[in-house]
Every structure is written in C-alpha cells, then in structure tokens.
C-alpha cells in the first residue's frame, strides 16, 4: 500500500543513495522506495526495505558519559563538552595542533563533515582529520585527481542503461550496490545485446548473472588493463582526434603498457584463460559505448591508485568519456563518501575541492572562513593516524560515526593505540561498540531518521536526509557537538542555527573567488547559494555542478575540457606491482574481505533486523575444498584464521566461488561475538603509497582447525 503522507529521505547505507519514503505509524515506521528519486526510481534493496526494523532504541547511547578509573558514569552535555574542549585546548597548547585529531566517517552528513573539517583545518590548524572513506574511496579520489585534475566522476547511473557493454571491476554489484545492478539487469532483459563483464577473483552473485567473468588473481588488475591499453592501441581502437586535442602523456603510458602486450603473459599473470582475456579485449575494442565501473576490489590495494588510472587510461585512449553510455565510473561504498570529499574530509584535501598544497587555495579558504589559521600540510591518513596515536605523538582523538577497532586493518594495533591515547572521544549512536569501550568521553549522536542534512551519492547527486523521528534521549547532531566544542575553545564562526545555514556556507564556498583562474573548479553549487530554509527543506535530488539553474549536471567532460590548468586529461603510466606481502609456506592463502548482501558495516543497525541477520547468522571463511583439506578443516567446522598481524575464528564454508589459494571473510562481525570475529585484526596494514588506502583484498593467511 503506498504511503500517503511520508517524509522523503535517503537510504543511509550504500553509495547508490536510494530515495526512501518513511512514515511513522502506531506500529512502527513504514518504509518504501521513493519513485521520484532519480537515483533509484522507487527501488530499494533488502537492506533499505528493512530500515524500519532497525530503528529501536535498544543499545542506543542516550546520554553523554565520562569514563573515570575504568567506570563509565553519566554526565551532562555541558560537563562532557567542557571536558573535550579543555583537554583539546590544553594538549594543543602544550604539544601543538598536530597532537589532536578527528577520525570521522562517510556516515556523517555533509553538514557535519563540513563543520568538522572547518574546526580542524581552519581553527585548530591541523589537517589531522581523516575518515573511514580512506578505507574505500581514496584510491579513486587520487586516480581522478591525477588524470582529471580534480576528484570528478564523469558520468551518471543513466549511462549504465545507455551502454552497450558494462565492465564491473572488483565489484560485487549485485550485493553491494543492489538497486543499480537491478537497473542493469532490467536493461539487459529489454535489450539482450547489452553485454556485462565481471572482473573479480571470486565468483560472486554478480558473476552468476553476467555474460563473461574473468576470475583474475587478486592484485593483477594493472596487468590486465595495461594489456588492454596496448591491445587497443595496436588494433586501431584509438580515438586519435580526442587523444591529440584533449590528453597528454600517452607515450609514457603506452611504453609502460607495452610490457603487457603479450596476451598469454597477461593471462598467466592474472591466472585467467587467455581466451577469456582475448574475448574481453575484443569486446571492449569493438564496443563504442562502454562503462567501466570499479569499486573496492580496485581501490583497496597497495596499487589501488594505479589500478584506477589503468582503467581510465583505456577510456581516454578511446575517447569514451563524457558522453552518454560511456566512461569510467567509481562506485562509492558509503552513503556520503562523495559529500565528505566535497568538504575536504580527507587529511590531504581542502574544503570545496580545493587543494591543501596550493597557497592560493589555502588563502581562499582561510579568508572565506575568516579563520585564524589554516593547516598548511597534509595530515595523517587513517592507518598512519592510529600508528601516531600508539607512538604518542597524537594524544587526543575524536572518533565520529565509525568503529575503527573493527574496521581498520591490523585492528589490534588500533586497540593498542586507543589504550594509550590520553583522550578518546567517541560520538556514536551506540555506546557499546568495540571502539566506544575505549572512549573517555562518549557523546550520543542522532541516527538515521533523526538527523537532517544532505548526502551525495556515486553519481554526484545531492539528496536530503530528512528527520521523521524525534531525537531520542539527549542525542544531538554531530555538527552541534562540534560547534559547541569549538565555541568553548573560543573559536568564532561556529554559531550556526541549523543545517540549512551550514549548507549555505558550504555552497557559497564552492563559488568563492571562482573567477580566479587559479581556483576555478568543477565542483560548484552556484544555484544552491542563498537558498532560504524552505527551499533547502524542499531540495530535490540533483547532480553537481549546479551552476545556473536547478537542473544539475549528469555528465562532465562532454566538451573535452578537464580540470588541469591546460584543460587536458593526463594518461598515467602505471607500472604493475604485486601485493606487498607475498604468499609463503607459513601463510599460503590470499585473504580477501568484503560485504554481504544483508549487512552493513559492523552491524550496529542491520544486526537489529531478524530477517537481515537471519541470512548469514555467523562469521564464515569461504575456502576452496582443496585448501580446506590441506588445512585440515571441513565445511561446517570452526577454523582459526591466522596472519602475521592477528587471528580470528570463523566457520568453514565452500560456496564454490573461491579459487584455490584464496579465502574470503566478510567484514561485518565485531569483537563482541563469543570469539572475537574482527577480520580487521587479521588484515595487513599496507597502504597504497599515493592514496593511503589499505590493502584489504590481499593478506597472506593460514587456516588451522579450531
């Protein structure tokens, strides 16, 4: 039954950003898809449709708390905020601004993110603010900036329906971006000639529904796409006019790709039948409208940025970018990974797509904020941040809406870091997470349905999240907590009365001094500046840049102009590199991690839904039967999974989708299960040298009977 009068909001889970209609009834919240939302057109996946089952207050943190002598006691907001502000101020006074840090999240709304970034970079004067988006998107950000000159996603979801070929690289789209995958399948049903290719070490639910699956070995994508670049150049698929007019750097990229000219070599290196490689190359060369979508299987790698660029190179060579039905497309993991990037939520970026390493950019942001100072160097990226906390150089950290004791690699190191940190502040909706147990100050945050603001999805679409539930207990919005600490520290410029005022400032910064050639950027919200509160409340989903009207911009680069100063895109020469840690006799299996269809992050919300939790009730390790035999374990038994960084216990399964020499464990379980099931404790902490994104997809492990 359609909901008659409902609040229109946005799903808080994956980066598709589906529109949701929510209405409170005496029996709970009714949830249905919003047919008017451009990203989803009424669709919801199983997680989105179960949102109503996740809204109970069980386990919610409803009042601030202060931990003293190991005991958590209730505190007033004033006492908690005074404590945070005075401890931050005294640590900064004694040790300098880089001795404090914020670690935030793609779960935050853009307005929360904006204020957090302004607080740290403009007023504390340190860029030590990083985000869990570092763990999923930062390689795409770095790849975009290298090639395009700015972190820009060229296309939109409609391109998946207009394409003649869709290549899904390192993406179990059927489970991780379900409604977008449904759009692809619907289009394929109507137009069977649409060809879908999956490139993934695992045979996932996505692979079962595509035309061609290349089960490449983890970490070999650059060999595959360098080989494709070389093949395209050799076989006349190059768009010479586009390359000459709109790109630079092709010679160096082709020279590097020439090392992968031999298809048998590529196939051997990738562990794939050469006939499959040839079939893929021929299809790519022969099809004009190709979308290549990539996700965590590409990004979460010690060569993630090069993987991104090796994909984009193939689109530049063929001129397949900026036009309907074609282009590289980064599928973001979280609901607001893109919004966080817009406000400079990464430790190496500045607000509004400006650059931390450019003096003119820093000066523009400082002057716009009327800030006393501005960070003048990149801060610590996530993995390095927690190392610095353990080493004692960062003495206070404020963690918001994320659970790094579960989700970061080498997660036991994160525990050690928080154990020795002088001040750990945790803002969350749940007060008992693995991370919250280390908090000296706990601040209750508003959750989905209670908070208000905007998010931006994978196709640059800004959508409103709207509240339809009352604030529970004493919970407050994260932006309010940040502003109240900032004001206690004597910082001006944090007296916002509402999220609308913050969004307006964010929009105005996007056009600040934009006529200055040195600052001009594609991220612009001209038509969204000076909106009144009613217009902000009624804001319909639309894709930035939003320059002259409220129509938005589905595609970028259609005119062949990119964001580098010379207007050209850069080919990037990508030298293939194996994952940092090779397999060995002691650790003979390559562990891959990822999401399940029915769970989200560390299950603090989806774990409340019986039907979601029932899909996969306990942690598992998926193995090839041959490796299980060699390891002395059998399907259904418990096994211990060990790496040189840590261990966990999970039940052995054989899905049939795992190649010999590999293993897969989902990311969702935490340390509060009977046996600590944080796969993060097993994952190696190596990162991509450009993006700082960890190598979640390749950790050498061994399996032992439990």
Tell me the C-alpha distance between 29 and 468, whole Å. 9
Tell me the Cα Rg of the chain: 24
Per rule CB under 6 A, count of chain residues that contact ligand SF4: 14
Phi, then psi, of 439 in degrees rounded to 5: -70, 135
Judged by CB, which is closer to ligand SF4: 18, or 374? 18
31 forms part of the interface with ligand SF4 (CB under 6 A): no
Exactly one of 7, 16, 499, 556 binds ligand SF4 (CB under 6 A); that residue is 16
Distinct helix (H) and strand (E) counts, the chain? 24, 26
Minimum distance between the CB of residue 556 and ligand SF4, rounded to whole angstroms? 23
Tell me the C-alpha distance between 364 and 170, whole Å. 38
Minimum distance between the CB of residue 18 and ligand SF4, rounded to whole angstroms? 3
Tell me the C-alpha distance between 603 and 531, whole Å. 37
Segment contacting ligand SF4 by CB under 6 A, of 6-14, 81-89, 263-271, 582-590? 6-14
Minimum distance between the CB of residue 681 and ligand SF4, rounded to whole angstroms? 26
Minimum distance between the CB of residue 303 and ligand SF4, rounded to whole angstroms? 28
136 forms part of the interface with ligand SF4 (CB under 6 A): no
455 forms part of the interface with ligand SF4 (CB under 6 A): no
Exactly one of 7, 11, 406, 596 binds ligand SF4 (CB under 6 A); that residue is 11
Segment contacting ligand SF4 by CB under 6 A, of 10-18, 275-283, 439-447, 660-668? 10-18
Minimum distance between the CB of residue 673 and ligand SF4, rounded to whole angstroms? 23
For residue 491, what is the enclosing H or E element? none
Judged by CB, which is closer to ligand SF4: 45, or 485? 45
Sign of CA dihedral 37, 38, 42, 48: negative
Segment contacting ligand SF4 by CB under 6 A, of 16-24, 143-151, 351-359, 424-432? 16-24
Phi, then psi, of 549 in degrees rounded to 5: -145, -175
Tell me the C-alpha distance between 668 and 365, whole Å. 38
Judged by CB, which is closer to ligand SF4: 178, or 219? 178
Minimum distance between the CB of residue 447 and ligand SF4, rounded to whole angstroms? 15
Judged by CB, which is closer to ligand SF4: 42, or 324? 42
* Nearest residue (beta carbon) to ligand SF4: 48
Minimum distance between the CB of residue 46 and ligand SF4, rounded to whole angstroms? 7
Minimum distance between the CB of residue 48 and ligand SF4, rounded to whole angstroms? 2
Tell me the C-alpha distance between 73 and 64, whole Å. 9
Residue 372, helix vs strand vs coil: coil
Segment contacting ligand SF4 by CB under 6 A, of 15-23, 53-61, 186-194, 651-659? 15-23
Q: Which CA distances in Å does 52 have to 387, 476, 614?
A: 39, 21, 16
The label of the residue with tokens 């991104």 reads: 308
Minimum distance between the CB of residue 633 and ligand SF4, rounded to whole angstroms? 33
- Work out the burial of residue 326: count CB atoms within 10 Å of its CB; fewer than 13 is exposed, 13-18 middle, 19 or more buried: buried
Tell me the C-alpha distance between 113 and 119, whole Å. 10
Judged by CB, which is closer to ligand SF4: 179, or 269? 179
Judged by CB, which is closer to ligand SF4: 18, or 528? 18
Minimum distance between the CB of residue 175 and ligand SF4, rounded to whole angstroms? 10
**Binding positions for ligand SF4, 85-124, rule CB under 6 A:** none
128 forms part of the interface with ligand SF4 (CB under 6 A): no
Minimum distance between the CB of residue 475 and ligand SF4, rounded to whole angstroms? 23
Segment contacting ligand SF4 by CB under 6 A, of 14-22, 117-125, 155-163, 190-198? 14-22
Tell me the C-alpha distance between 274 and 295, whole Å. 24
Instruction: Report H helices in 577-638.
Output: 610-613, 625-631
Whether 332 contacts 296, CB under 8 Å = no
Exactly one of 45, 198, 525, 556 binds ligand SF4 (CB under 6 A); that residue is 45
Judged by CB, which is closer to ligand SF4: 313, or 334? 334
44 forms part of the interface with ligand SF4 (CB under 6 A): yes
Q: Which of 621, 619, 594, 622 is nearest to 607 (CA)?
A: 619
Q: Which of 339, 335, 332, 344 is nearest to 116 (CA)?
A: 344
Q: Which of 142, 541, 176, 507 is nearest to 355 (CA)?
A: 142
Three-class secondary structure assignment of 547-589:
CCCCCCCCCCCCCCCCCCCCCCEECCCCCCCCCCCCCCCCCCE
Give the largest Cα separation in the chain, rounded. Answer: 71
19 forms part of the interface with ligand SF4 (CB under 6 A): no
179 forms part of the interface with ligand SF4 (CB under 6 A): yes
What tokens appear for 7 in the block? 């609040």
- Work out the burial of residue 456: count CB atoms within 10 Å of its CB; fewer than 13 is exposed, 13-18 middle, 19 or more buried: buried
47 forms part of the interface with ligand SF4 (CB under 6 A): yes
The label of the residue with tokens 């193939």 reads: 314
Minimum distance between the CB of residue 455 and ligand SF4, rounded to whole angstroms? 10
Exactly one of 178, 201, 493, 607 binds ligand SF4 (CB under 6 A); that residue is 178
Sign of CA dihedral 483, 514, 141, 383: negative
The label of the residue with tokens 């708390």 reads: 65
Exactly one of 13, 103, 281, 491 binds ligand SF4 (CB under 6 A); that residue is 13
For residue 414, what is the enclosing H or E element? helix 411-420
Judged by CB, which is closer to ligand SF4: 386, or 448? 448
Judged by CB, which is closer to ligand SF4: 180, or 687? 180
What tokens appear for 31 in the block? 């949830």
Segment contacting ligand SF4 by CB under 6 A, of 9-17, 378-386, 602-610, 649-657? 9-17
184 forms part of the interface with ligand SF4 (CB under 6 A): no
18 forms part of the interface with ligand SF4 (CB under 6 A): yes
438 forms part of the interface with ligand SF4 (CB under 6 A): no
Segment contacting ligand SF4 by CB under 6 A, of 173-181, 257-265, 387-395, 555-563? 173-181
Q: List contacts with ligand SF4 (CB under 6 A).
A: 11, 13-14, 16-18, 40, 44-45, 47-48, 177-179
């Amino acid at each position: 039954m359609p909901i008659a009068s409902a609040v229109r909001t946005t799903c808080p889970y994956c980066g598709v950003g589906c529109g949701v209609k929510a209405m409170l009834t005496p029996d709970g919240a009714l949830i249905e898809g919003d047919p008017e939302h451009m990203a989803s057109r009424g669709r919801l996946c199983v997680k989105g449709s179960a949102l109503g089952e996740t809204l109970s207050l069980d386990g919610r943190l409803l009042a601030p708390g202060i931990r003293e002598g190991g005991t958590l006691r209730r505190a007033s907001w004033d006492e908690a905020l005074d404590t945070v502000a005075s401890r931050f101020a005294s640590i900064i006074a004694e040790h300098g601004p880089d001795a404090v840090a914020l670690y935030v999240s793609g779960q935050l709304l853009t307005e929360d993110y904006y204020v957090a970034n302004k607080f740290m970079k403009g007023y504390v004067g340190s860029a030590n603010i990083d985000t869990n988006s570092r763990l999923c998107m930062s390689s795409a950000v770095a790849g975009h900036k290298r090639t395009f000159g700015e972190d820009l996603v060229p296309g939109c979801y409609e391109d998946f329906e207009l394409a003649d070929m869709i290549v899904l690289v390192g993406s179990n789209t059927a489970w991780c971006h379900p409604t977008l995958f449904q759009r692809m399948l619907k289009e394929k049903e109507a137009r069977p000639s649409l060809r879908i290719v999956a490139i993934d070490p695992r045979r996932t639910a996505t692979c079962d529904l595509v035309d061609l699956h290349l089960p490449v070995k983890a970490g070999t994508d650059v060999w595959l796409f360098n080989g494709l670049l070389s093949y395209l150049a050799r076989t006349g698929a190059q768009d010479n006019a586009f390359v000459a007019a709109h790109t630079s750097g092709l010679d160096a990229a082709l020279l590097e790709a020439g090392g992968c000219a031999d298809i048998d070599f590529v196939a051997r290196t990738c562990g794939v039948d050469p006939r499959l490689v040839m079939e893929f190359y021929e299809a790519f060369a022969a099809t004009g409208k190709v979308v290549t979508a990539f996700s965590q299987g590409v990004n979460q790698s010690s060569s993630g940025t090069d993987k991104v660029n090796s994909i984009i190179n193939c689109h530049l060579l063929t001129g397949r970018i900026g036009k309907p039905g074609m282009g590289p497309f980064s599928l973001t993991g979280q609901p607001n990974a893109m919004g966080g990037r817009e406000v400079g939520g990464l430790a190496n970026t500045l607000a509004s797509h400006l650059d931390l390493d450019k003096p003119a950019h820093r000066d523009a942001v400082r002057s716009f904020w009327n800030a006393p100072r501005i960070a003048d160097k990149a801060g610590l990226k996530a993995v390095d941040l927690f190392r610095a906390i353990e080493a004692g150089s960062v003495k206070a950290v404020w963690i918001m809406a994320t659970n790094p004791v579960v989700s970061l690699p080498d997660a036991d190191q994160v525990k050690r870091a928080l154990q020795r940190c002088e001040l750990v502040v945790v803002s969350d909706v749940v007060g008992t997470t693995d991370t919250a147990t280390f908090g000296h100050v706990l601040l209750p945050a508003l959750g989905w349905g209670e908070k208000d603001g905007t998010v931006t999805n994978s196709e640059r679409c800004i959508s409103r999240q709207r509240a339809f539930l009352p604030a529970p207990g004493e919970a407050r919005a994260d932006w309010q907590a940040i502003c109240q600490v900032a004001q206690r520290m004597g910082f001006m410029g944090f007296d916002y009365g509402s999220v609308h005022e913050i969004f307006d400032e964010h929009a105005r910064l996007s056009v600040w001094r934009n006529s200055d050639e040195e600052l001009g950027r594609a991220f612009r919200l001209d038509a969204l500046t000076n909106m009144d509160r009613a217009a902000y409340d009624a804001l319909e989903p639309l894709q930035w840049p939003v320059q002259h009207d409220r129509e938005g911009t589905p595609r970028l680069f259609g005119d062949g102009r990119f964001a580098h100063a010379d207007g050209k895109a850069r080919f990037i020469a990508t030298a293939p590199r194996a994952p940092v840690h090779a397999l060995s006799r002691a650790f003979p299996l390559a562990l891959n991690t990822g999401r399940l269809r029915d769970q989200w992050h560390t299950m603090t919300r989806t774990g409340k839904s019986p039907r979601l939790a029932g899909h996969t009730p306990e942690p598992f390790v998926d193995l090839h039967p041959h490796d299980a035999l060699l390891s002395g374990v059998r399907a259904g038994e418990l096994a211990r999974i060990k790496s040189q960084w840590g261990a966990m216990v999970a039940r052995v399964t054989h899905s049939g989708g795992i190649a010999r020499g590999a293993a897969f464990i989902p990311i969702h379980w935490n340390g509060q299960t009977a046996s600590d099931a944080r796969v993060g404790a097993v994952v190696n902490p190596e990162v991509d040298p450009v993006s700082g994104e960890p190598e979640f997809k390749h950790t050498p492990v061994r399996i032992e009977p439990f």
